[in-house]
Amino acid sequence: MNIATLTVLKFDTPGGAQHTLEVIEDLSKRQLITLQDAAVVSWPMGKKKPKTQQLTSMAGVGALSGAFWGMLFGLIFLVPIFGMVVGAAFGALAGSFADVGISDDFIKSVRSKVTEGTSALFLLTSDAVQDKVQDALKSIDFELIASNLSKEEEDKLREMFVEEEEEAEVAPTA
């Protein structure tokens, strides 16, 4: 298995990400790319914040937890809303993401580009047949923001969120 890539494709329409996810899923079915996990962010005009949706059909070894997507989207889209109140917590969280190859620059870049009236497709992929994937996406207008994860960073990322899910499952509810 090749190194996983966390890729963000940004679209100038609220529906662009969903459409492109369907293209990527088709490529995956044809074994032209390994789609480990995905999430869609859609931000319709007139809304204060985006809608997010994890690809729920991805229940395999490669799939990341909902906690990962929730924290990543919280870090990207909610920091400006909460500001200083939870600054320290988000600072620690940003540090954790940096440990797994998701840099502060990556987060800031996504935050500045995914705005009202746009959408974004977050993909965790590997083993892409580059020319076939490029051919399938050439008619789609998007901006690419990518961060390659080393095998070590990918393993660390999975471990971090497996631990968080296990802690959440055993935590007593008051």
Domain boundaries, the chain: 5-170
Give the model's confidence band at 127: pLDDT under 50 very low, under 70 low, under 90 confident, else very high.
Answer: confident
For residue range 29-49, what is the model confidence (pLDDT) as tens digits? 999 998 888 889 999 999 988
d(CA 174, CA 162) in angstroms, rounded, equals 23
Q: What is each CA distance from 159 to 40, 62, 81, 163, in whole angstroms?
A: 23, 12, 29, 6
Q: What is the value of pTM for the model shown?
A: 0.73
d(CA 134, CA 140) in angstroms, rounded, equals 10
Give the model's confidence band at 85: pLDDT under 50 very low, under 70 low, under 90 confident, else very high.
Answer: very low
